[in-house]
Amino acid sequence: MNKDYYKTGFNQGQGGFGGFEGFDFSGFNQGGGQNFDFDLGDIFGDFFGGGGGRKKQKKGRDITVDMELSFQESVFGAIKKIKLTKTSKCNSCGGTGAEKGTQMQACSACSGYGKVRETKKSIFGNFITERICEECSGIGKIPKEKCSVCRGYGILKREEEYEVKIPSDIDDGETIRLTGAGEAIKDGSSGDLYIRIRVKNNPLFQKDGKNLVTELNIKLTDAVLGAKYNLETLDGNIELKIPEGMSFGEILRVKGKGIPKENGGRGDLYVRINIKTPSHLSKQAKKVFEDLRGEGV
């Protein structure tokens, strides 16, 4: 028997659930550290008919995965595919465990009640205890004919592929949740899939709110006289006009080349100007600079 199919099952691990006898809940965590993913509220709700308010459904385990994005993807968003092998509901039977076209019948072990009662004698008298029926996992019904794909378990391990829409302007460390894309269990809803975003650094750009910041090295003469430069942006290269008389550290703003905003607009790209001062001058060039100094420039 392939135990994998039972990984997230409710009544896995024989001694996990001992009914009401002695209210010994310490047994819940037995079974080699497996996550049973239910809390006491669920159980009391089940046993007392949900009289205490809302009844929480049992849920499969959540899954967390990392996803690496390029800087560009983190700015503009992207559609990414993610593949993972996990327990899912069987597509053939829809999770019921019954062969296609066949029906469910009342579980004979619990007469369709989902719980099994046992009467035990003690010095205080007879104790009636109830436990979840192991035959039907508490559902009260079992398939007349077991599904041939999942062998009646209703769930199985398989590879799933999800298409994930990454929103624009997402940052390193943020998490996206895909509801119901976690581990499935037979008699409850599936857990969720958490995608933890990792953004690769881009040495050219930094985020500043909805704006991007970059640097541009220009020649001293271009700073003085003005020029046109080829500038790399996330939308491709553009021609940037450097006005004459630029100072070191001055910032030029390129409108609309920043990060998308919720209202549809875009932030701006700020270009911080670095001026490269020549370290070696020809005799002629030096003469020119000396003449300029003589002029008081």
Residue whose CB is less far from Zn ion, 104 or 234: 104
The nearest distance, CB 107 to Zn ion, in angstroms, is 3
Q: Residue 195 is which amino acid?
A: I
Residue whose CB is less far from Zn ion, 1 or 123: 1
For residues 61 and 43, give the distance between their C-alpha atoms in angstroms, rounded to a whole number.
17
Residue whose CB is less far from Zn ion, 145 or 172: 145
| Cβ-proximal residues to 120 (8 Å cutoff; 6+ apart), any chain | 21, 126, 127, 129
Residue whose CB is less far from Zn ion, 74 or 190: 190
Q: Under the rule (CB under 5 A), what is the footprint of Zn ion?
A: 90, 92-93, 107, 109-110, 133, 135-136, 147, 149-150
Phi and psi at 189, nearest 5°, equal -90, 160
Q: Which two tokens stand for residue 73?
A: 């993807």
The nearest distance, CB 97 to Zn ion, in angstroms, is 6
The nearest distance, CB 150 to Zn ion, in angstroms, is 3
The nearest distance, CB 162 to Zn ion, in angstroms, is 21
